[in-house]
Amino acid sequence: MSEIAGELARVRDAFDRPTLRLLDRKWAPFVLAVFKSSFSRDRRSVQADRLHTQVDAYLADLRSTGVDVPGRNGRALCVQWMNDQWLYRETGDDDQEQYSLTSHALEALLLVDGLSRDRALISESRLTTIVATVRHRATQANPDRDERIRRLDLEMAALAAERDRLAAGGEVAAATNNQMHEGYDNLIDLITQLPSDFKRVEESVAGMHRQIVNDFRGEERPISEVLDEYLSKTDALMSSTAEGRAFEGAIVLLRDEDLLATLKTDLESILLHPFALELSAEERRSFMSTVSLIRKGVDDVLTQRNGLTTTLREHIVNHDVVKDRELERLLREINKELAVWMETAGPRSTVTAELMPGTLELDHLRERFYDPVAHIAPPPLDDVSAFAPEPQSLDDMRTQGGPLLGELRDAIVTAFSTEGAASVGDAFNKLEPGMRRPVEILGLLQLATQVDAVDGTGRTDAESGAPATEAFDTVRPDGSCRTFTVPRITLTDADTAALAALNYGPDHD
């Protein structure tokens, strides 16, 4: 194969990847604009129904301005983007489906952001980073002990000389705004690549586990052997892929809390420089959230690895190899019979087959056998009548019940007809103690309401102007007394006659 043919094959392979397929589509600007508007560093996943509604709103908004947009609705577009490996759908912590961007979509967004942002292709900060990284890696790559000591001595001497100069009162050279801007842009380029890097590790872990599951389903070995191989593959999972090896190497630094605390302090120091006044509030907030971004990325990868490991382990433990073998044997037999039938069947021949087996016609199906223990009589109950309390009399029970409407009516009618009671409260206070329970007040109010003796217009006392009330002195069944304040009610002769005529049932006139 010639050199140009090999390069063409590599380029075609790159264009077949989801990242460049996204950028090469007709609706790529629309898709990337939706991803940019719906997802952010702080909002890495969106509930599925909400994203469908958002896409529908974006489509309607753009159509109203005359912009050409896809003809599908939000749900159909999200499903298509998921099939194109630009969106990933999973079940969240709240048991609801949610979408998140794949590493391919994040790479496409990163590329578009880089092309749409005005920045210098080369700067002092970028060259300094390259030189420092090359020097550090060269020191690590050289196995010569003396050469490594010489490099460390030179570095220590330079640092000591700079310290002595500053300690002697030397001038502190502050970075200019242009220098800080160049360094800031270089850092932003590196920081914005972190989400896609972490996402690639997550996808690599998920892909490895899916491959392991497929391998297990095709196995016919004992479950113990499959489990041993699964555990060995899981132990070497992060070292068997390029992304996993990179993450294992970086996680040693990312788990260093002192290093992350120092990183946060350094980020704050950078934003204290005057050049930071030219940054927007969103840019400063995003820059300061770098440590949170790193922590979140590490947690997502570890959660993905632990969650899938647990799921696969439960799958292996609960996997029924016997049933799988029976199903596989049945499918093989069906394929054999199908091959025999195809030898004589025509191109349009059909076979009637039931999707589900028919039900058995059974009059009775015994669910359990006779158990003599189930027919043993229960033991006799203990006689505890000697411990029973004294039964209450009818009068005692009546004192705990509701108002005695009949007795109250007769007593009130007598009080107003012959004794000249001034009010219902006056009549109540003259009754015997057994008729002056607190609950009898409710009975009196009920009787007065039935004869329309309760005035709901809010009449007031002519002298004080306050609502007319009176005291009801009650006696509880236990002998204790309590006074209640009740609106003052008086009965006219017509009210008394109506009260006397009340009927409480078929046994009363």
pLDDT at 393: 82
Buried b (16+ CB within 10 A) or exposed e, 274-297: ebbeeeeeeeeebbebbeebbebb
Q: Please check the confidence at residue 158 and state whether its pLDDT lies above 90.
A: no
- pLDDT band for 474, please (50, 70, 90 cuts): very high
**C-alpha–C-alpha distance, residues 237 and 231, integer Å:** 10
Which tokens belong to 108? Answer: 């496409």
Instruction: Give the pairing type, strands 87-91 and 97-101.
Output: antiparallel
| pLDDT, average across residues 82-91 | 84
Judged by average pLDDT, the poorest of 165-169, 290-294, 430-434 is: 290-294
In DSSP terms, 90 is beta-bridged to 98
Give helix then strand counts, H and E, for the chain.
Answer: 21, 5
Q: Please check the confidence at residue 453 and state whether its pLDDT lies above 90.
A: no
pLDDT at 244: 61
**C-alpha–C-alpha distance, residues 57 and 71, integer Å:** 13
- pLDDT band for 508, please (50, 70, 90 cuts): very low
Q: Please check the confidence at residue 113 and state whether its pLDDT lies above 70.
A: yes
Backbone dihedral angles phi then psi of residue 89, each to the nearest 5 degrees: -110, 130
Contact predicate 508/410, CB 8 Å? no
Total residue length of the chain: 509
Which tokens belong to 309? Answer: 């490991």
Tell me which residue of 113, 103, 267, 121 sits closest to 198, measured CA to CA.
103
The average confidence (pLDDT) of the chain is 77
* Per-position DSSP letters for 237-277, written without gaps between them: TTTSSHHHHHHHHHHHHHT-HHHHHHHHHHHHHHHTSGGGG
* Per-position DSSP letters for 294-335, written without gaps between them: HHHHHHHHHHHHHHHHHHHHHHHHT--HHHHHHHHHHHHHHH
147 residue type, one letter: E
Give pLDDT tens digits for 352-381. Answer: 777 777 777 777 777 777 888 888 888 899
Give pLDDT tens digits for 417-431. Answer: 888 888 888 889 988
Residue, of 464 and 273, whose pLDDT is higher: 273
Contact predicate 484/471, CB 8 Å? yes
Question: What's the distance, CA 229 to chain centroid?
Answer: 35
In sequence order, the 6+-apart residues with CB closer than 8 A to the CB of 181 are 275, 278
- pLDDT band for 80, please (50, 70, 90 cuts): confident
| pLDDT, average across residues 287-307 | 76
72 residue type, one letter: R
**C-alpha–C-alpha distance, residues 180 and 176, integer Å:** 6
Q: Please check the confidence at residue 498 and state whether its pLDDT lies above 80.
A: yes
Tell me which residue of 237, 220, 206 sits closest to 327, measured CA to CA.
220
**C-alpha–C-alpha distance, residues 303 and 299, integer Å:** 6
Residue, of 184 and 27, whose pLDDT is higher: 27
Q: How far apart are the first and last CA of the chain?
A: 120
| DSSP structure class, residue 359 | P
Contact predicate 489/468, CB 8 Å? no
In DSSP terms, 469 is beta-bridged to 487
Dihedral sign for Cα atoms in the order 445, 449, 450, 455: positive
In sequence order, the 6+-apart residues with CB closer than 8 A to the CB of 85 are 18, 102, 104
pLDDT at 149: 86
pLDDT at 217: 61
**C-alpha–C-alpha distance, residues 371 and 373, integer Å:** 5
The helix or strand, by DSSP H or E, that contains position 98, with its residue range, turns out to be: strand 97-101
**C-alpha–C-alpha distance, residues 195 and 256, integer Å:** 20
User: What's the pTM?
Assistant: 0.44
Contacts from 78-87 at CB under 8 Å and sequence distance 24+?
Answer: 78/48, 78/51, 78/52, 81/31, 84/18, 84/21, 84/22, 85/18, 86/18, 86/22, 86/31, 86/35
**C-alpha–C-alpha distance, residues 110 and 200, integer Å:** 14
**C-alpha–C-alpha distance, residues 437 and 401, integer Å:** 10
Contact predicate 41/286, CB 8 Å? yes
Helix, strand or coil, per DSSP, at residue 67:
coil
**C-alpha–C-alpha distance, residues 484 and 260, integer Å:** 71
